[in-house]
Amino acid sequence: MTSFNFRQSELVSKTFLVVDDFGDMRGMLRSMLSTVGVKEIDTANNGPEAIDALERRRYDIVLCDYNLGPGKNGQQVLEEARHRQLIGLDAIFVMITAENTREMVMGAVEYEPDSYLTKPFTKDVLKTRLEKLVLKRQDLREVDQAVGEQDYDKAIQLLDNKIAARPGNLGELTKLKAEILFRSSEYEYAADVYERVLAVREMPWARLGLGKIYFTTGRLQEAQAMFEGLLQDNQRFTAAYDWLARTLQALKKDRDAQEVLERAVVVSPKAILRQKALGDIALANGDLAVAGKALTEAVSLGRHSVYKSAGNYAKLARVKSKSGDGQGGLKIIENMEREFQGEGESELYSAMVKGVIHADMGNREKADACMHEAARLYAKEGPHVAADLTLEMARSYGELGDKQEAAKLLQQAVRNNHAEPELLQQIENMVGEFDLGTDPKAFVSDIRKEIVKLNNRGVELAKAGKLQEAVGLFSEAVEAMPSNKVVNLNAARVLVMNMRENGVEGKQLGRVRELLDRVRKIEPDSPSLRRVQLMYQNLSRQGL
Amino acid sequence: MNPVQQHEMKFADILASLIHDMKNSLWLVINTLESLAGEMESSADRQKLQTLQHEAKRLNTNLIELLTLYKLENERIAANIEELNLAEFIEELVLENRIGADARGVELSWTCDDDLYGYFDEGLIRGVVNSVIGNGLRYTRSRLHLSGEEASGFLVIRVEDDGAGYPQEMLAAQDAIDDHSALCEGRTRLGLYFAGMVAKLHRNQGKEGYIRLSNQGQLDGGCFSLYLP
């Protein structure tokens, strides 16, 4: 029954930001909130104004219309707010949608709002909905906090207590639990949770979760079947497309993966990360037409997005040049320069891509000058340069015929990413394409031998009980090869051994977690990861 | 993609954006009327405004129905199943329709177990129940009751009234409600066709959603039941 309570609304003390491009709407929302007793209400007319407001002040609740006219839409405001942490973990973001815009919004890859309100709604509906959201957030505050601190064991324990005490929103809590288990790589446990849900009823989120576990644990055929099944039931389930494409790529079916993403962008054309993924894979498949279209989308969507990236402009410019439209390529680079104003890696991308375009257009002198500038900027990036950038740079040298420089960069890339099969495959292909070595496979494996040798030395030190020395050696090695799976794992292992001997210490525990997270990203199914993870868990339990 | 599909997509997008615009206008109308009603001294004037609000709300419900039906016909829609608290869902529906009920002097009540959770597409089911409520408000005498419960593996949402009930031929023909001919047989029929289509989009473990009409409700009038697996 409707309950009339005379206590003050939970909302009165909250700070609100209302975002709508339509003045009457803003006024109406404001008056609705005032009637409820809310005092702190700011408004913004469009996306950029909303971001400005969020930068200036921490809001408890954001009410944002999805349609904000030209420029950013509501989803892009949400993405930027969450991505840049302009709103706290416990802030509530409500997306106001027209009819069922939800399917359009649902195509998003990364972030989802806490709730959707469909226009038109009355002030009573608004009040009731917001009050419930506030209570829900309060209920999950401790769990959110534990997740924020990456204390997954605690988060699971808290959720288990809730699940046992109050089976009301069981499904919601169970979903959250499974997601946290997945994040802490408790795959068997997470799979068990999903299977129990599915035994009772068909829930797409549980099937997606199970599929992700299959993918992550290398059961690729099963993953493929799962995602395909989900899409058969609901061809608008965009997350299933993304995971199916990843699965197919892992199965080395790049053409099929491309086709899947092409279907996905028809359903949900506004997700920039998906357009970028399609552009990348089409480029790898040599499908310049599709790559050009997808990268054009990624670039144009990116203009108002936190995912705006100079790399996308660079790739698009290359595609244009390769398709024989050098002038078009230069135009893209000009746009990029205007958009980025020298920010981040844009100058480097600009120089290296211009080099290639000028070479394609037969202007060798200009090309060399550009590459000279690119080399200077690349050196400034330092040793922790992103793999993407290194490969793009190597490609530029390769296309200009500077084999020596290209080879040097690719060696560096192998060293940094020696455990990433997809990347190594790209490197191998590039070595072959630009004829950088008689044997592309050996190009990679020679470096591998170096690393093996270094590893063995560290392991021997550890065996001999010289743990401090081993810790030192591996932390240096990790510096030099920050993405190397074996080196990272060994660094974590000797840290754990060291703590077993000399006592548990919070900072070192954190470091181990960081190293293991890194490995998890590279190869989640690694049995040695599991072993070190177990060592770590035993140790941290002892330490508590 | 073939050219026909492309054409359909464009049409659906135009339809959606027109409806979006109309709904924005309606929203303003509804809320302006609400605040005006609050300022009215005489209850007769207030009631007139409430009637206007009620009609604007019906217009809105119809627009949603129109768009959804178009998408259903073109298979551009699938249920976006979420877990939802049924009591909260029903409470919001009652809040939304309170003014319409007041305007017609109908007592709107609801019952639902606080801990009952359901799995359905919120937007679609909201559209269906709103449409049934709108219809109920026209045909009931003095009461309209919403309820939610679980029965033999289905979630049941019921709308009951104390009016004259559904006509016999409608009860007899309800198994054929998904028949396309229903489309040209009046407003109530269209609403039920819509409800049946939306119910069917909800599937779980081999079971499919459906609707049932009867005149054996608690209030002795019409009783609409929506069964979701």
Domain annotation covers residue A178: no
- Which chain A residues touch B83 with a CB distance below 8 Å? 169, 171-172, 175, 203
A167 interaction partners in chain B (CB closer than 8 Å): 115
pLDDT confidence of residue B162: 92
Residues A258-308 have pLDDT tens digits of: 999 999 988 777 788 899 999 999 988 989 999 999 999 999 988 888 888
Task: Give the per-residue pLDDT at B4.
Answer: 45
Question: pLDDT tens digits for B16-38?
Answer: 778 877 888 888 888 888 888 77
User: What is the phi/psi pair of residue B208, to 5°?
Assistant: -125, 145
Nearest to B83 among A118, A172, A237 (CB): A172
Higher pLDDT pick, A43 / A478: A43
DSSP character at residue B183: G
**Mean pLDDT within B114-130:** 86
Query: Is the Cβ pair B117, A106 closer than 8 Å?
Result: no
Tell me: do B40 and B122 sit in the same domain.
Answer: no
pTM beyond 0.90: no
Indicate the pairing of strand B154-161 with strand B143-151.
antiparallel
pLDDT over 90, % of chain A:
47
List the domain range (segments joined by +) for residue B156. 82-228
Residues A174-197 pLDDT 10s: 999 999 999 888 899 999 999 998
CATH number at residue B205: 3.30.565.10
* Mutation site, A1, A28, A35, A100, interface B, largest B CB count within 10 A: A100
B116 lies in the same domain as B157: yes
Number of domains forming the structure of chain A: 2
Q: State the residue for tokens 């081993």.
A: A470
What average pLDDT does range B184-190 have in this prediction? Answer: 62
Let me know if residue A483 belongs to a domain: yes
The CATH number for A82's domain is 3.40.50.2300
Q: Which residue of A120, A171, A201 is in closest CB contact with B27?
A: A120
What is the least distance, in Å, from the CA of A58 to any CA of chain B?
29
Q: Which residues of chain B from 199 to 218 reach within 8 Å of chain A, CB to CB?
A: 203-205
pLDDT > 60? residue B43: yes
C-alpha to C-alpha distance for A190 and A217, rounded to whole angstroms: 12
Q: Are residues B89 and B140 in the same domain?
A: yes
Domain presence at residue A419: no
pLDDT at res. A256: 97
Q: Which domain-ending residue is among B73, B99, B134? A: B73
A4-8, A469-473, B86-90: which has the minimum mean pLDDT?
A4-8
Residues B38 and B142 in one domain: no
Domain residues for the domain of A62 are 15-139
Contact partners, residue A535, CB within 8 Å, separation at least 6: A493, A496
Of the candidates B26, B43, B73, which is a domain's last residue? B73
Closest of A89, A66, A69 to residue A77, by C-alpha = A66
> At CB < 8 A and 24+ separation, what contacts does B48-56 make?
B50/B99, B50/B100, B50/B102, B50/B103, B51/B103, B51/B104, B53/B99, B53/B100, B53/B103, B54/B99, B54/B100, B54/B103, B54/B104, B54/B137, B56/B26, B56/B29, B56/B30
d(C-alpha B104, C-alpha A1), whole Å: 21
Are B63 and B93 in a shared domain? Answer: no
Is B81 close to A204, i.e. CB distance below 8 A?
yes
ipTM score for this prediction: 0.78
**Range among A365-379, A429-443, B43-57 with highest mean pLDDT value:** A365-379
Chain A residues inside the 8 Å CB shell of B99: 122
The answer as to whether A437 is a domain residue is no
At B220, the amino acid letter reads: D
Regarding whether B189 and B86 lie in a shared domain, the answer is yes
Between A494 and A90, residue with greater pLDDT: A494
Instruction: Report yes or no on A37 lying in a domain.
Output: yes
State the pLDDT at residue B11. 74
Q: Are residues B68 and B99 in the same domain?
A: no
Name the domain count of chain B: 2
What is the tens place of the pLDDT at every residue in A59-117? 999 999 988 887 788 988 998 898 888 998 789 999 998 755 555 555 565 688 888 88
Report the CATH number that the domain containing residue A511 is assigned in CATH.
1.25.40.10
- DSSP assigned state of B180: G
Among A139, A168, A189, which residue terminates a domain? A139
Q: How many CB atoms lie within 10 A of CB A27?
A: 15
| Least confident window among A406-420, B94-108, B148-162 | A406-420
Please tell me the predicted confidence (pLDDT) of residue B9.
57
Asked if residue B102 and residue B64 are part of one domain, the reply reads no
**Residue B187, pLDDT above cutoff 70:** no
In a domain, A493, yes or no: yes
Q: In the A/B pair of chains, how many CB contacts fall below 8 A?
A: 104
Q: What is the mean pLDDT of chain A?
A: 87
Assess if residue A79 is contained within a domain.
Answer: yes
| CB contacts, 8 Å: B79 with chain A | 234
Are B99 and B205 in the same domain?
yes
CA distance A151 to chain B (A): 27
User: A139, A174, A206 — which closes off a domain?
Assistant: A139
Of A32, A120, A234, the CB nearest to B78: A234
Share of chain A above pLDDT 70, in %: 93
Is residue B177 scored above 60 in pLDDT?
no
**What's the mean pLDDT when you consider all of chain B?**
82
Q: What is the mean pLDDT of residues B61-84?
A: 77
Indicate whether A6 pLDDT > 50: no
pLDDT in tens, A206-259: 999 999 999 988 899 999 999 999 988 777 778 899 999 999 988 989 999 999
Tell me the pLDDT tens digit for each residue of A319-339. Answer: 999 999 999 999 999 999 999
Whether residue B220 lies within 8 A of chain A, CB to CB, comes out as: no
Q: Where is the domain boundary, A139, A164, A188? A: A139
Q: Would you state the pLDDT for residue B75?
A: 65
Q: Within this chain, do residues B91 and B67 fall inside the same structural domain, yes or no?
A: no
Q: In terms of domains, do B208 and B133 share one?
A: yes
Q: Band of the pLDDT at A527, cuts 50, 70, 90?
A: low
Residues B126 and B214 in one domain: yes
Q: Pick from B98, B18, B107, B24: which is nearest to B54 by CA? A: B98
B114 touches chain A (CB under 8 A): yes
Among B20, B43, B73, which residue terminates a domain? B73
Pick the residue from chain A with its C-alpha nearest to B97: A122
